[in-house]
Structures are given as C-alpha cells and as structure tokens.
Amino acid sequence: MMSRDTSRPHGGRRGGAGHYRCRIRIAVLALVLLAAACSSQDGAGGGEAGEAATTTVASTVSEPVTTASASTLSEPVTTTSTAPSGTVTTGPEPSVATTVTSVTGTDAADDQDRPGEGDEADPVDETGAADGADGSPAAPERTVRWIECEFVGLECGVVTVPLDYRDTDAGELALTIAVHRATDPDRRIGYLVVNPGGPGASGIDMAAWALEGPGVIFTAPVLERFDIVGFDPRGVGRSEPPFVCGEPGAQLALLSQVELPFDAAEEFAAAEEAALLCVESMGAAAGLLHSEYVAHDMDEIRKALGADQVSYFGVSYGAALGVWYATLFPESVRAMVVDGADNPLDDVSTVEARVANVIDELRQFEVLLGEALDACDQPECPMYNDGDPRGYFKENVGALDAVAEATGGNPLAGALAIITPLYSEEAWPYLWIGYALLVEEDDPSLLAELARFQLGDSHGGTTFVEHVNCLDSWVLHPQLDRHVRLSDETAMEEAVRRELPLLAHLEFTAPGTCPFYDLLDRAAFGGTLDGGDVPIVVIGNPRDPATPLSESVELVEETLSNGYLVQAEHFAHGVYPNNECANEIIHRALIDLVLPEERTTIC
C-alpha cells in the first residue's frame, strides 16, 4: 500500500532468533499440520461430492470456529483491495471443470437407507411440534443419498440442488452433508444446521468436531438435544463445483500487468480476462456461488432431511448466511443464534461511508497488532529489539516481500501473514518467531505457512473468500458499478495511512478481479435483507479481532427486524462455547425457545 523500504537489515539489536531455533522448527511443524488439517476443504475448492476419504477427526479443522486455541487463525479480513480479501484455506488444486455435474444413477432405496435410522420418525421437540406438520416426517421434495462417511460417528450424504434458482432446468450441483446425531435421542429436538464461516469453511468438518465431545466446539446441552448438520456449501470442499479460476498462476500473471490505479486500456483488458478465467473454469456456476443461493441450498437440504423447520447456528460469515436464510425462508427457522457476526448491509451510500466501513473492520487488527508487539517485552522474545518491538516491526517490513515470493507471488501474503496470528493471543508467538526468522535468517517459511492458511492454493489469484464476498457485494449493491469500485481505492489507501499507522506499513492494496464481476451472470437481490422477522440472537465480542462489536451492534440495530444483542467478551474470534453467560443464553434460545428479556444483554 505504501512505498516501502525493501532492504532486509541483519544483526544489530536482535531478539534472539537463534535461541528460538528449536521452538521455531516446532512452530513451523505445527503450522504445517494446521494447514494440512484445513486442506480437507480442498481449498474451499469444491471436489467431487460424495467421495469418502480416510481422514481422522483431528485433521478436520478448516477455519477457526470459536475456540481460543492457536488453531483459531482464519476468518475474513477486510482489506482495501479492489478484491475483498479474506481467509480460507485451500487444498490441492482441483481439476478444471467447465460443466456442472449432478448425482445420477442411484437407487431411490439407497437415498432413504440412512445408517441407523430404521423406520423411526424424528422425535417430537419440547413444544410438541414434530419435524413434520402432521406429527410425522414431512415428505421431502428432495432426498439424501446416504454414502460412506470418512468420519466414524457421523452420517454423510449427498443432496442435489439446482445450479440456478432462476432456471431449475439449468443443471444441478451435488452438495455433501454430514449429520452428528443427538447424544440423547429420547430428548432430541430436531436438526441444528451449522456453518463455521469463511466463506469457504467446511460445515462437515465443523460437525466432525462434535465427535470430540462437549466443550471443543459445542456444549453438552446442544450435543444432547440436536442432530447437528454440517454441509460444504457450493464450491467448498466435498461439494460441487470445484472452485477454479484458470490454471495455476494464470490470474496472477494477468493481474501483474496492472498497476493501481487502472488507467490504461491494456490494464482493463488484463483484469477482465482474469475475471473471466473463473467462468472458463466453472462455467455458469462461477457467478452463482453467492450467499443468496447458498441459503436456497440450505432449504433444499432441510427438505431432503424431511424437516418442517430447522434451528441454525452460524459463526462469522455464517452469521451473514443465517440472515440470508431467515430472510428468504422465515417459516423454515425454528430458532437461530449467530456468533462473531459481520453486518452484511453496511452503509455504502457514499465513498466516505464505504471507507469508514473498511477502517472500522480493520481497526481491531491495528489494536491487536500493537498489543502483540508490546507483549514481546522480554529479552528472550525474538522481536524484543532492546525493548522496541514496534521499531523492529517497522524497520523490517520490506522483508515481507519474501513471504509473497514463497506463496506464489500474491502481493497480500505478507500482510495476511502478520494478521493471521492476531486471531488469538495464544498465537502471538507465531508472529514473533516467524518475523524474527524472516529478518535474521532470510527464512519466510513460518510466515508463509500463516499466509497460506489464508490464501490456500490460489496461486496469487482470486481466493474463494474474495470470490464469494465480491459476488455478495454485487448481488446486494449492483449500483456500485465498476467505476465506483475502482475509484474508492485511493480514498481507502489514504484513510488507512491516516488512521491505522501500524497496518499502514503493510501491503493491503493489490489489483483484483472484483470490480470486473459485472461480467459474471450473478443476478441481483431485489428484497430486503432483514432476517424476515425471525428472532435472531447475535453474540457480539468487544475483543473479536475479525468482526468488531460494532458490526454486531449494527446488525441488530440497523439490519435485523427482530434481533437481540448479547455482548460477551472472549479474547478470540467468536465467543461460544467459551463464555458461560453467553452459553446459557444460547441454550435458552436454541433449546427452550426463550429469548433474552432485553434487546441488549451484557454478560
């Protein structure tokens, strides 16, 4: 973003990187394992739906859900790039697919032969209402084709959904789901659909964490009372289509021909070609991976499960997805709680408002970066620098170019490597060790792993997070045309330099494809995204690095027609299940259908 000193100082006031050699190697190994665990998403790069794998539960973390462990390292990061940046880990590059497939050739009997189900109907919930309106399972318009599951203890299946809800004859996508059955089946309420965020994190992986027992991702009352349903959204992991935008490196090669601001016909042509690589690879599906259609998919899954209503819990981006679902299908929602929410309807009426949105969402990272550096306050800390870790950071930012080189050339890699360990205080040592390793030994390996956790295998091109965030923006705000999106860039860069002095040292601006998604057929949303008057409990966290409390406040006060804000503190992204006060409110909302007495509750 700013002109930077690209030199790499050595020696001088060092923080003991060599002393941390063993710890550095352990940290690198830990991050490698963490990234490998996330590759079960296959990049948010959808794969062949229904394929059984041979992974273990311990290798299923795809995105930080709500724990405070060092593994909570992923979530959308708002940047000032023309292509909204974010975080999702991708796996091996899938083969390029230009057509959308559907599941065919399966026996109807196989579709209904769910393991362990027998002939029993879904139990009645506490209010006396069964999943079916007449007391028996509702007749599904779609069915689940139950398949062998890679996780012992889950039941996995495939649901086919329309590619394009404007034209249901345009083809189908196969989505993979997983169900963790209620541990107290006699008191089972029904289905709890979950989404861990991203966009691009795997709901199947989130459901698999339920196998670890209470307190890891879900509390005991939730595990006891609900069948937890996770699904990989369209374009993610085990669901279709594989997310691909050209051959590896093709988008980066085109975007490298562009210098901001766009001012030459050749630059516009290169960016347009880069955007259209997604269409060349995925066909019509390229423009149809947005949240409105994922919400439609959720209701097809509900129908396939034979449920009249479902409950919902979503984290981070999963909160926005919940708002979409409640808006489009309010009668399908039994209860809804969202955590670590981002308001999907920020004010975009003026350039000043749009810039303020970006600054607001980046401000907590500015605060946390300062706190992380200040916490390096002992000589044993690799960035100690005679008591001036902030100076050490500022003096050596030019070295972050090596992180970009090590991750395929993505110019945002250095910034994402610095931001990633800010998601949890327990992860700050990754920042200290990785930065010192880079500066003192010319070794970008640890920071590169942190960046890859965000970038996946995008090879310097559009990530799944960028793609979906961009599509959502075009769906909700088609009035923000190409010219407007491009013209905001300078104002955003100036605002970051003025208001976020630490982050201003990082490279957040890079040419992207988002302004050129007017070339993709994506439709536009003509309704009001307000949650459809469904009571939605929103958990907001003053210490959340990725989705500031202000976003939860705005969601409840400005967007939702029937929202309830619960303010609960936890030093990580998301609160549940790590705050007992919030847990109790969540249990009452999801299990007992009892809402908070006040519109705002402070734990």
- Partner residues linked to 41 by β-bridges: none
Interval 397-448: pLDDT, tens: 999 999 989 988 888 899 999 999 998 889 999 999 999 999 999 999 999 9
| Amino acid in the structure at residue 400 | L
Largest CA distance in the chain: 77
Q: Mean of the pLDDT values across residues 300-313?
A: 97
Span of 99-103, 245-249, 294-298, 570-574 with lowest mean pLDDT: 99-103
- Annotate 94-132 with DSSP letters as a single string: PPP--S-----S--HHHHH--TTTTTPPPPP-TTS--SS
Which residues of 393-498 form beta strands (DSSP E)? none
pLDDT surpasses 50 at 89:
no
Between 230 and 522, residue with greater pLDDT: 230
pLDDT at 42 over 90: no
Q: CB-based burial of residue 268 (10 Å sphere; 0-12 exposed, 13-18 middle, 19+ buried)?
A: middle
Summarised one tens digit per residue, pLDDT across range 478-517 is: 999 998 988 887 788 889 989 999 999 998 777 889 999 9
Residue 424 DSSP one-character state: B
Highest mean pLDDT, choosing among 65-74, 333-342, 456-465: 333-342
On the question of pLDDT at 78 being above 60, the answer is: no
Strand partners, 228: 180, 192
* Three-class SS of 329-360: CHHHEEEEEEECCCCCCCCCCCHHHHHHHHHH
The confidence score (pLDDT) of residue 76 equals 33
Sheet harboring 145-147: ordered strands across? 145-147, 155-162, 172-180, 226-231, 190-195, 310-315, 333-339, 536-540, 563-567, 600-602
The predicted structure's pLDDT at residue 453: 82
3-state secondary structure of 230: strand
Give, as one character, the DSSP assignment of residue 153.
T
> In the prediction, which pLDDT does 264 show?
85
Residue 231 dihedral angles phi and psi, to the nearest 5°:
-145, 150
Q: What is the pLDDT of residue 87?
A: 32
Tokens (6 digits) for 354: 């749009």
Q: In b/e form, how buried is each residue of 271-283, taking b as 16+ CB within 10 angstroms?
A: bbbbbbbbbbbbb
Mean pLDDT within 533-550: 89
- With residue 27 as reference, give the H or E element that holds it: helix 21-38
Please write the tens of the pLDDT for every residue from 150-200.
999 999 999 999 999 999 999 999 999 999 999 999 999 999 999 999 899
| % of residues, the chain, pLDDT over 70 | 76
Q: How far apart are CA 563 and CA 549, in angstroms?
A: 15
Tokens matching residue 598? 């006040």
Task: Name the token pair of 275.
Answer: 């955007």
CA dist., res. 580 & res. 571, Å (int): 14
Instruction: Write down the pLDDT at residue 389.
Output: 97
Say if strands 226-231 and 172-180 run parallel, antiparallel, or are unpaired: antiparallel
Kindly state the average pLDDT of the residues 510-537: 92
pLDDT given for residue 257 in this prediction: 87
H-run or E-run covering 231: strand 226-231
- Sorting pLDDT into bands at 50, 70 and 90, what band is 141? low
pLDDT in tens, 261-277: 777 888 999 999 999 99
pTM recorded for the entire structure: 0.77
With H, G, I as helix, E, B as strand and everything else as coil, classify residue 381.
Answer: coil
The domains found in the chain, sorted by start residue, are 1-603 (3.40.50.1820)
Distance (Å, whole) CA 175 – CA 101: 11
In whole angstroms, give the CA distance from residue 221 to residue 584: 10
pLDDT of 458: 65
Among the ranges given (110-114, 207-211, 236-240, 282-286), the one the predictor scored with the smallest mean pLDDT: 110-114
- Mean per-residue pLDDT, 132-149: 67
Residue 259 confidence class, pLDDT cut points 50, 70, 90 = confident
For residues 240 and 173, the answer to whether their CB atoms sit within 8 Å is: yes
- Cα of first residue to Cα of last residue in the chain, in angstroms, is 39
- Any residues with CB less than 8 A from the CB of 402 and at least 6 apart, and which? 8, 438, 442, 444
**Least confident span in 128-142, 287-301, 328-342, 450-464:** 128-142
> Average model confidence (pLDDT) for the chain?
79
562 vs 69: CA distance, rounded Å: 33
- Rounded CA separation 107/104 (Å): 9
Q: Are 307 and 131 in contact (CB under 8 A)?
A: yes
pLDDT at 31 over 50: no
185: its two tokens = 């089946």
- pLDDT the model gives residue 46: 54
User: What is the rounded distance in angstroms from the CA atom of residue 513 to the CA atom of residue 465?
Assistant: 13
- pLDDT over 90 for what percent of the chain? 59
Look at residue 109 in the predicted model and tell me its pLDDT: 35
